[in-house]
Structure 1
Amino acid sequence: MTESRVTCVTVHWLICGVHSNSKHTLTPIAVDGMDTNTGALQEPMDCLYYLEKVSLPEDSEDDYEFEEVPIDDEWSLTEGEEDLGAVMKALCDRTNGIGAVTESITPGKQQISHIPEVVDDFLRNSLVRMGMHKTLDCFQTEWYEMVYKGHLNEEQVGIVPDAYTQNLLLDNELQNVRRERDDYREAAFKAGEALVRLRKERDFHCLHHKRVAQEKNRLIEDLKRLKKHYASYEPAMRTLTDKYQAALKQKMLISLERDRALGQLQGLEVSLHNTAARGADRLSAGPRSASREPGLLQSEGRLKGSAGEDTRLQAEGIAPHDWAKDTAKSSLSKHPKDSEFPADTRIDPHLSHVKLLPADGSRMPVFHLTSSLKAHSLPVSCLALHPQKLIAASTSDDHLWKMWGLPGGEELMTGEGHSDWLSGCSFHPDGSRLATTGGDAAVKVWDFSLGRCVLTLEGHAHATWGCSFHSCGDFLASCSMDNTCKVWDLHSQRCRSTLRGHTDSVNSVGFLPFSNMLLTCSADKTLAIWDARTGLRVQMFYGHLHSCNHASFSSPGNAVASCDSYGEVKLWDIRKATVVVTVYTGPHPSNQVAFNPSGWTLAVASNDGLVKLVDLGSSQVTSLVGHEDAVQSVIYDHKGEYLLSGGSDGMIHIWS
């Protein structure tokens, strides 16, 4: 029995790192493979030790005899393994290899599943856990001293009851559970607050949804009531529209008759003035010459009657022609080769050939694509129509202009001479010449009979955008990016006047047929009408909110159409300088606008690749699809039977 007890104590000291001959004691915090509280074997884990110094005098009075334990070969330390780490590694390896320390000590027995914890180990572990190292030093010093001297009664030193150890474990678990409970309680409190907040938001959104639904239902009812009310006005609106169209047609007819009568009256006044001048010359020659001319008295009678005619015209509200104020006659030329501006009659002899509104009231013609021409390798920038024949001219970014026969599309002529892209072109009134503009800031005049450029006009500071011939053929107007417009005299080959007033690029220019009035539009969002004889601005048009790209006169000359870079097309009354119709064709820019010869339809070249037709009476918009890129230019033929469009895809489409 004694041998068995000594052996067990020795093994315990080996585990705890205590040797009778050493002066240091190694106390474990946790033993690998054993629970320090319960003594049960566990899975191997890393051990923590601390080293304390214990002094044993050599002349100790302790008569305790130690039994030498034989060293097993398996436990012997080789050279280099005398350190503590090597011993513990060997111990752990053996534990892992065999399964448990108990099996190696008592082979043949079953593995011990539970080893009660002794009192001293329990106290040591408790002090270590509490961090009371000084108390632990005192305890171990006194404890081992009593053990060595044999003053410690083995009956007093027992095993800590499992119930107490279990209570400590349960107490630790209880504390952990309480901490978790507090954490869960706090999380539950936060979740409750979040739930209350979400419920309030839900109630708020529900109330808002109900209010919106009620407003929606009320708006639906109002909309139904308005539709019913609007339907009751449709017959009256239809009747008023018919009356308005009839009145407008009658007004246009009266305007045409009035303009024709004014032209005839002015012609008679000119003839009367000439006759009176000849009669006055003959009267100054003497009575014989007067007697020789029997028609002199008749001319005098006509002269006397002209004052009464003027009185009658004033009574009718028509101002007679004042020759004293006629700038075209009174102005003196500053250059011997300068041309004189003709009288401003504003009567277009081609108006009699214009087809008016059809009897059935239909305005919008239906166009179909009949042929397509691959005119240029680069975008087509402008199209122009010959004044007498079905011939069209085109300009392009490839520095070329070409002439085409219609409606077949035969190429008739090609011109090359500009050093940069071409932007615009215009036919001379007699059809024998063509003027072109481009990015080189030059204006060139080409003669078809000679087949070359006969005149180059230079004076603009930046690229020129377009040009237009006067109806007499002696003057040419051009617009430029330098914010100006110039009027050129083709006889003297010089600039007669520079029109200044726009604050941004002037994008288009055009003469009113058989008139000295000039129309311009600019990127400063305005339109202007100028008197080409004096170079003064007569009227300004305000209303566009974006850059104005193009403007054009109607055939009678009483209306102007314009388009801007946001797709808005406006129709202006030239007498009142007010907007009559506004049609939105955007948001893509509108590049050019052209009147149908009847004056009821507008063709718009749009940047979205469509040619848009606008009915000015109903503001209805239809689209012609055919181009693969932006449409840059549109023109009608003389009778309105054909529509030509040129685009950035280099194509010219002919619609009929």
Structure 2
Amino acid sequence: MADVEAPDDSAYYLDQVTITEDLDDDYQYEEVSVDEETIADGDEDLDAAVRVIEEASQDLKAALRREGVPGPAVIERPEVVDDFVRNYLLKMGMRKTLECFQTEWYELQQKGLLKEEDIQTVPDVYSRNQQLDDHVKLLRKELDKFKEAANKAKDMYVKLRKERDFHRMHHKRVVQEKNKLVTDIKRLKKHYASYEPTLRQLKHKYETAMKEKMLSKLERDRAVGQVSGLQATLKNIETGRGEPVFLQGVHSSRELAKAGIGPTQQSLREARNIEGLPGYDPSKDPTRSEFKRHPNDTEFPMDNRVNPYLTSQKTPTGHLTRTGGFRLTNTLHAHQLAISNLALHPRKEILVTTSDDHTWKMWAIPNGDIIMTGEGHEDWVSAADFHPSGTKLATTAGDSTVKVWDFAKTECTVTFAEHTHAAWDCAWHWTGDFLASCSMDNTSKVWDLNSERCRYTLRGHADSVNTITFLYYSNTLCTGSADKTISLWDARTGLCAQTFYGHMHSVNNVTFNLRGDTIASCDSYGVLKLWDVRAIATITSVDLGPHPTNRVAFDPSGQVLAVASNDGTVKMFEVGSGQVSSLTGHEDAVQAVVFDRKGEYLVSGGSDGTVRIWS
């Protein structure tokens, strides 16, 4: 609505008036209940009863009529002429015109110049025209909106059509490139297929060359050792006996070599001859037995050789000197099946692994180049040990055999097959003329490499003999058995010298420290024990369970023990402090551990078929 001109304020005034209420305090009013329709007992008569009934019926009819009355309806009244003009001017934004109109309108109205028909409602045609005009404007706005949406849709359609054409063209190009690549791949496959025979041939040549290289190195080292020994012997002979004895010594050495006697036995006989000692007399041998000796049997050396490691002072291993101990530095995927044991070359950085895949493999470490593979066992290979000279290798297997492999001949030269069950472990005597093995048939055997026969069978264990090892530079053997005992044997007589009791479960492995005064053993429930060889007593016992411990190894200093555990870790036990740490890296049980000769690194092999080097 338009603003209405305010009337003159002088025509109105305000006055305060107080209205007093008449109170009739002297009159006593009686309260009558509105709902009271009964009649007092004294006034009850027929007329009063009829009147009460009629009033009740009238009240009911009035209530019904009140319920039937419809609610007020909203009546739309047409606006008057002046309101119509005001609304129109406001809608058009003509405010100045609106002010002039109102001024003139009220002046005419005050002067009475407006007729009654001039101030009535707007004729219907104008209202209808106004409504139609509003509707037309609304439709025009919607039309503009739809036009804008249609233009946007048209632009989007054009854009999508262009993108469709682009992607269709791109798809055709990709299909063409794909077909071209497929053709090139087929051509390359055909081309490279012709290289496979050449690659196999080159690989075979490379393996052969590496094998010949290592064999040449081994032969060279052996030749250098022999020359050094001969030079020293010649010098001693020339100094002591003169020229005739020199010729006699050389002639004697040649005769012994022709007779098939090994270098250790040659040295023993030459030493006896030079010192004027009597030769070997079978009748005076304290270890002589009543049965007839084989003509090629080797004489056991006298047990008076001094262990050179007794006085050596070894520096602590890298696990103690480096912060954080050993860490994983290299991983070799050696076999498809589990690795059962490891053996390190006595002088070179060469490692042999044995596996459940019936083979053993020789590796150059730490780079992991394969040198050769040994095949010949008919079942899993359980253990391996290098000859003290490094030119031979002994292996044991589940086919009950013990094999000796000659690297110079690149073949198996000797096979011992007298065990009746699987052979578990083997160990060389320090002279290299004897080999000891243990088996599931509850026995251990000492083999003579010169006569190629079993010299002694060690009987005494009540269950499988799981491990065997020689004491350094002696004729003493140590065995561990599933009957929970550890035994020391004299290899010259085949008799048990001492038995250690203390394990509550099957003994899996035993080993000497380099000094030879301590034995470490582990069992199938994860218990590690250290034994004093001289006192025949337990030094310490450590529970590394509940998983079995499979192998144990001393570091060169004898201060740290590495234990292969079935939980996939290598346990590092410090002998002095008793502290235990773990090396984690294998994905399955660890079966074997071995330290290098200097204690700079540790090698482990596991059931995951990998060899891991820690340094």
Q: TM-score, normalised by structure 1?
A: 0.49
Deviation at 1:345, TM superposition (A): 2.6
- 8 Å CA contact 1:601–1:616 kept in 2: the answer is yes
Matched residue, 2:139: none
- 8 Å CA contact 1:432–1:447 kept in 2: the answer is yes
Q: Give the 3 Å change call, closer, same or farther, for CA 390–354 of structure 1 in structure 2.
A: farther
Q: Does 1:370 align with 2:343?
A: no
Matched residue, 1:632: 591
Matched residue, 2:463: 504
Q: Within 1, Cα distance between the matches of 2:454 and 2:540? A: 37
Matched residue, 1:554: 513
**Cα-to-partner distance string for 1:5-46 (whole Å, 9 max, x where unaligned):** xxxxxxxxxxxxxxxxxxxxxxxxxxxxxxxxxxxxxxxxxx
**Cα-to-partner distance string for 1:360-407 (whole Å, 9 max, x where unaligned):** x96998101110000000000000111111111110000110011122
**Cα-to-partner distance string for 1:82-129 (whole Å, 9 max, x where unaligned):** xxxxxxxxxxxxxxxxxxxxxxxxxxxxxxxxxxxxxxxxxxxxxxxx
Structure 2 residue aligned with 1:476, among 431, 435, 451? 435
- Report 1:599-618 matches (<5 A): 599-618=558-577
Local SS of the residue matching 1:349 = coil
Structure 1 residue aligned with 2:342, among 356, 372, 383? 383
Deviation at 1:343, TM superposition (A): 1.3
Local SS of the residue matching 1:327 = coil
- Report 1:461-472 matches (<5 A): 461-472=420-431
Matched residue, 2:582: 623
* Residue identity opposite 1:407 in structure 2: P
- 8 Å CA contact 1:530–1:539 kept in 2: the answer is yes
**Cα-to-partner distance string for 1:193-239 (whole Å, 9 max, x where unaligned):** xxxxxxxxxxxxxxxxxxxxxxxxxxxxxxxxxxxxxxxxxxxxxxx
- Report 1:229-628 matches (<5 A): 327=286, 334-349=293-308, 355-357=314-316, 366-628=325-587
Q: Give the 3 Å change call, closer, same or farther, for CA 612–531 of structure 1 in structure 2.
A: same
- 8 Å CA contact 2:309–2:515 kept in 1: the answer is no
Q: Does 1:643 align with 2:602?
A: yes
Q: Within 2, Cα distance between the matches of 1:581 and 1:324? A: 45
* Residue identity opposite 1:568 in structure 2: V
* Residue identity opposite 1:550 in structure 2: N
Q: Within 2, Cα distance between the matches of 1:391 and 1:363? A: 25
- 8 Å CA contact 1:363–1:601 kept in 2: the answer is no
Local SS of the residue matching 2:384 = strand
- 8 Å CA contact 2:287–2:493 kept in 1: the answer is no
Q: Give the 3 Å change call, closer, same or farther, for CA 579–365 of structure 1 in structure 2.
A: farther
* Residue identity opposite 1:417 in structure 2: G
Q: Give the 3 Å change call, closer, same or farther, for CA 489–641 of structure 1 in structure 2.
A: same
Q: Within 1, Cα distance between the matches of 2:526 and 2:485? A: 15
Give the count of matched residue pairs. Answer: 337
* Residue identity opposite 2:509 in structure 1: H
* Residue identity opposite 1:624 in structure 2: L
Q: Within 2, Cα distance between the matches of 1:536 and 1:592? A: 26
Deviation at 1:600, TM superposition (A): 0.8
Deviation at 1:332, TM superposition (A): 9.6
Q: Within 1, Cα distance between the matches of 2:338 and 2:495? A: 36
Q: Within 1, Cα distance between the matches of 2:558 and 2:295? A: 41
- 8 Å CA contact 1:328–1:340 kept in 2: the answer is no
**Cα-to-partner distance string for 1:292-314 (whole Å, 9 max, x where unaligned):** xxxxxxxxxxxxxxxxxxxxxxx
Matched residue, 1:19: none
Local SS of the residue matching 2:600 = coil
* Residue identity opposite 1:542 in structure 2: Y
Q: Give the 3 Å change call, closer, same or farther, for CA 336–590 of structure 1 in structure 2.
A: same
Structure number with greater CO (CA < 8 Å, separation at least 6) is: 2
- 8 Å CA contact 1:561–1:593 kept in 2: the answer is yes
**Cα-to-partner distance string for 1:240-291 (whole Å, 9 max, x where unaligned):** xxxxxxxxxxxxxxxxxxxxxxxxxxxxxxxxxxxxxx9xxxxxxxxxxxxx
Any unmatched runs of 5+ in structure 1? Answer: 1-277, 279-322
Q: Within 2, Cα distance between the matches of 1:493 and 1:426? A: 18
Q: Within 1, Cα distance between the matches of 2:532 and 2:285? A: 26
- 8 Å CA contact 1:434–1:447 kept in 2: the answer is yes
Q: Within 2, Cα distance between the matches of 1:329 and 1:483? A: 25
Q: Within 2, Cα distance between the matches of 1:436 and 1:429? A: 14
Local SS of the residue matching 2:598 = coil
* Residue identity opposite 1:426 in structure 2: D
Q: Within 2, Cα distance between the matches of 1:357 and 1:401? A: 32
Moved over 4 A (4+): 323-326, 328-333, 350-354, 361-365
CA RMSD of superposed structures (Å): 2.8
Q: Within 1, Cα distance between the matches of 2:323 and 2:508? A: 24
Q: Give the 3 Å change call, closer, same or farther, for CA 441–402 of structure 1 in structure 2.
A: same
Q: Within 2, Cα distance between the matches of 1:425 and 1:645? A: 15
Deviation at 1:553, TM superposition (A): 0.7
Any unmatched runs of 5+ in structure 2? Answer: 1-239, 241-281
Task: Give the share of equivalent positions with the same residue, in percent.
Answer: 59
- 8 Å CA contact 2:568–2:587 kept in 1: the answer is yes
Matched residue, 1:268: none
Local SS of the residue matching 1:449 = coil
Q: Give the 3 Å change call, closer, same or farther, for CA 369–354 of structure 1 in structure 2.
A: farther
Q: Give the 3 Å change call, closer, same or farther, for CA 347–586 of structure 1 in structure 2.
A: same
- 8 Å CA contact 2:560–2:572 kept in 1: the answer is yes
- 8 Å CA contact 1:429–1:473 kept in 2: the answer is yes
Q: Within 2, Cα distance between the matches of 1:591 and 1:346? A: 32
Q: Within 2, Cα distance between the matches of 1:631 and 1:481? A: 22
* Residue identity opposite 1:547 in structure 2: S
Matched residue, 1:57: none
Q: Within 2, Cα distance between the matches of 1:560 and 1:350? A: 15
Q: Within 2, Cα distance between the matches of 1:388 and 1:496? A: 29
Deviation at 1:349, TM superposition (A): 3.0
- 8 Å CA contact 2:591–2:606 kept in 1: the answer is yes
Local SS of the residue matching 2:405 = strand
* Residue identity opposite 1:515 in structure 2: S
- 8 Å CA contact 2:380–2:397 kept in 1: the answer is yes
Q: Within 2, Cα distance between the matches of 1:376 and 1:565? A: 25
Q: TM-score, normalised by structure 2?
A: 0.52
- Report 1:192-231 matches (<5 A): none
